[in-house]
Amino acid sequence: MKNYKIIDKEKYYRKGVFRHFSEDCKCSVSITNRIDVTDLVAHSKRTGTKFYINFLYLLAKTLNSREDYRLGYLWETNELIAYDKINPTQYIFHDDTETCTPVYTEYFEDYEKFYAGTVADIARAKESRDYKLDMQNHPNWFDASYISWISYDSLNVEMPDGYLYFPPTINWGKYRDENGRLMMPVTVRMNHAVADGYLISKVFLILEEEINKFIKR
């Protein structure tokens, strides 16, 4: 069953930008920003839920809120497409081997359904030591990687020149106390053909809105 629609590149609202950065100057853009997660941490503790899973849910909800973040490229037919939804590929770290296992977790807007699915996915991944990615069968999945050891100030994820990979790549690190507030670094990387500084900034702004709505529900 097809899970995307084809976008007419001649009618695409970012037509000129898309052509320039998919033909003349193939590159990506990344922004690192610290977001305030004080209230989300408190909410997670109060409800006995995992902060990591709560944040992953809100991140996936944010990226599904705009078609701009659900774009893809079919290299066989040179078509720009928009997926119905995108799902997070998360990574589970194993202390004994110091390696990660990728986990495909399906996004559901229903929080309880997503939470239960993520708990089960993590439990299964902890029993494995394999690093297996199946991108051919998981094209509408975005990379969501938690860097749990440090709270960083900048991070760059590079792609090969000319590689038209459109799903967002998201990283985040440990939150840290800054003047009584818990601030967490989040990095958003996207291909410049489908996103610019405005669209990447909107990820942070929408994410903050979703956090505020989540803790008040």
Q: Give the largest CA-CA distance in the chain.
A: 52
> Using one digit for the tens of pLDDT, what is the confidence trace for 12-40?
999 999 999 999 999 999 999 999 999 99
Instruction: Specify the amino acid at residue 191.
Output: N
When divided into structural domains, the chain yields a total of 1
The predicted pLDDT at position 157 comes to 83
Q: Which residues pair with 90 in a beta bridge?
A: 103
Q: Which domain holds residue 101?
A: 4-216
- The CATH number of residue 44's host domain is 3.30.559.10
Q: What is the DSSP string of the chain?
A: ---EEEE-TTT-TTHHHHHIIIIIS--EEEEEEEEE-HHHHHHHHHHT--HHHHHHHHHHHHHTSSGGGGEEEETTTTEEEEES--EEEEEEEETTTTEEEEEE----SSHHHHHHHHHHHHHHHHT-------TTT-TTEEEEEEETT---S-------TT----S-EEEEE--EEETTEEEEEEEEEEETTT--HHHHHHHHHHHHHHHHHHHH-
> Using one digit for the tens of pLDDT, what is the confidence trace for 49-81?
999 999 999 999 999 999 999 999 998 899 999
The predicted pLDDT at position 159 comes to 72
> Using one digit for the tens of pLDDT, what is the confidence trace for 100-126?
999 999 999 999 999 999 999 999 999
The predicted pLDDT at position 217 comes to 80
Q: What is the mean pLDDT of the chain?
A: 94
The predicted pLDDT at position 139 comes to 82
Q: Is 132 a residue whose pLDDT tops 70?
A: yes
Burial 8-17 (b: 16+ CB within 10 A, else e): eeeeeebeee
The predicted pLDDT at position 161 comes to 60
- What pTM did the predictor assign? 0.95
Q: Is 140 a residue whose pLDDT tops 70?
A: yes
The predicted pLDDT at position 84 comes to 97
Compute the average pLDDT of residues 151-160.
86
The predicted pLDDT at position 160 comes to 66
